[in-house]
Amino acid sequence: MDTQKWEYKVVFVENWERVSVEGHETRPEKGERNSAFGRRVLNQMGADGWELSGIQHTMPGRSYFVFKRPLVSGAEPDLSVVRREAQAPEAAPDQPAPADDVQIISV
């Protein structure tokens, strides 16, 4: 008997005024109500096959929404590391700036 495997996506939601999915930020359209924006975001996730499976509240107005969907037979889940955008340390006047050899993606 095969056990169902899942893949997950974590979405950061801030007051339904900003949503971040793996570094891609979305905000309401001009004049769009926050509730309509939230519905639009959730409907898009559902249309892409994602089902809301949990919400982790971190502080008032900020939450992580956890979505899951069945993993396609034979596929492996995405285990890649997505790094947050880092502030480059300022170089001392007599030292060169750090090299830009790392891909940076906002979360």
**Average of pLDDT values for 78-87?**
73
Task: Specify the pTM.
Answer: 0.71
Q: Kindly tell me if the per-residue pLDDT of 2 is higher than 80.
A: no
Q: What was the pLDDT predicted at 94?
A: 59
pLDDT tens, position by position, 36-80 = 999 999 999 999 999 999 999 999 999 999 999 999 888 888 888
Query: d(Cα 43, Cα 24) in Å, to the nearest integer?
Result: 17
> Which pLDDT belongs to residue 96?
52
35 or 89: whose pLDDT is higher?
A: 35
Tell me the pLDDT band of 107, cut-offs 50, 70 and 90: very low
Q: CA 86 → CA 13, 34, 75, 82, distances in Å?
A: 21, 29, 32, 12
